């Protein structure tokens, strides 16, 4: 049997070297993210079409959302993307405590996003009777189209929140791995690939925020929550 060279930790032996392993993993993750672009893209495309067909109803629906929470959550997610990037930076520069710290921050910010969504938005929508199919009480102008808007609202933000929950699950595993010292300057690919996923979910929200909250003629209301 031929002598087998000793691998550095984390090196999978079908690859020529760490650089190739890194590039392959990144490319594979991007191919997955492209399928995610198409997955959310289908929803975005149908949202655009129905918004064009029922414009007054969609604008009315948009104004029923509270822009303060949408904007706050955008900031929370952007902050979580920053801490995710810093966690990878900490791994690249060989700082184990900083990795764990930034990963925990990312998880907490992700959880804060979901908490704001649940407590201040979805709960209020339920109380106000804005949940199509389950609790619908809105009888104002364009009631039918507004119901369609809220279908899109719950599907899009719900699917996004599901991605956040999965992301927090992944981050939990990563935090344990980081605490056990599994990542170093040479090998931190699970962190980087999960980071790509986390940033992608951030980008989806970057588009959901203006599409759902901002472009409904909010200036006509005279206040942030009129």
Partner 1 sequence: MNGHVVPVKTYLAVFVALICFTLLTTAAAFVDMGRMNTVVALAIAVTKMLLVILFFMHVKYSPGLTRIVVLAGFFWLAILVALSLADELTRWWSPAAQPWGFLLPFLTGWR
What is residue 184's three-state secondary structure?
coil
Is the Cβ–Cβ distance between 90 and 195 less than 8 Å?
no
Cβ distance to partner 1 smaller for residue 132 or 217: 217
Query: From the centroid of its chain, how far is CA 194?
Result: 12
Cβ distance to partner 1 smaller for residue 18 or 104: 18
Least distance from C-beta 79 to partner 1, angstroms? 7
**Residue 135 main-chain phi, psi, to 5 deg:** -150, 85
Cβ distance to partner 1 smaller for residue 147 or 186: 186
Least distance from C-beta 103 to partner 1, angstroms? 15
Least distance from C-beta 89 to partner 1, angstroms? 6
Indicate the angle between helix axes 96-116 and 67-92, nearest 10 degrees: 170
Cβ distance to partner 1 smaller for residue 32 or 136: 32
> Residue 132 is inside which H or E element, if any?
none
Spatial CA neighbour of 162 closest among 117, 193, 119, 129: 117
Least distance from C-beta 133 to partner 1, angstroms? 25
Residues near partner 1 (CB under 8 A) are: 18-19, 22-23, 26-27, 30-31, 33-34, 37-38, 41-42, 44-46, 48-49, 52-53, 67, 71, 74-75, 78-79, 81-82, 84-86, 89, 92-93, 186, 188, 192, 195-196, 199-200, 202-203, 206-207, 209-210, 213-215, 217-220, 224
Cβ distance to partner 1 smaller for residue 85 or 104: 85
Spatial CA neighbour of 159 closest among 41, 21, 79, 55: 41
Is the Cβ–Cβ distance between 129 and 64 less than 8 Å?
no
Least distance from C-beta 18 to partner 1, angstroms? 5
């Amino acid at each position: 049997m031929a002598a087998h060279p000793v691998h550095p930790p984390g090196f999978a032996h079908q690859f020529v070297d760490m650089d190739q392993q890194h590039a392959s993993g990144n490319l594979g993750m991007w191919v997955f993210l492209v399928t995610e672009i198409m997955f959310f893209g289908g929803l975005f495309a149908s949202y655009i079409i129905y918004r064009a067909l029922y414009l007054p109803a969609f604008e009315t629906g948009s104004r029923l959302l509270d822009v303060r929470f949408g904007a706050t959550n955008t900031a929370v997610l952007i902050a979580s993307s920053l801490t995710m990037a810093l966690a990878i930076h900490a791994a690249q520069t060989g700082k184990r405590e900083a990795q764990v710290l930034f990963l925990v921050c990312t998880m907490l910010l992700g959880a804060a996003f979901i908490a704001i969504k649940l407590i201040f938005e979805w709960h209020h929508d339920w109380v106000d009777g804005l949940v199509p199919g389950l609790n619908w009480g809105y009888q104002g102008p364009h009631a039918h189209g507004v119901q369609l808007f809220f279908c899109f609202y719950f599907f899009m933000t719900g699917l996004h929140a599901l991605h956040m929950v999965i992301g927090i699950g992944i981050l939990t595993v990563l935090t344990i791995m980081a605490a056990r010292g599994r990542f170093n300057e040479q090998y931190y690919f699970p962190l980087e690939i999960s980071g790509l996923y986390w940033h992608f979910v951030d980008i989806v929200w970057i588009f959901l925020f203006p599409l759902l909250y901002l472009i409904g003629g909010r200036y006509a209301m005279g206040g942030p929550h009129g």
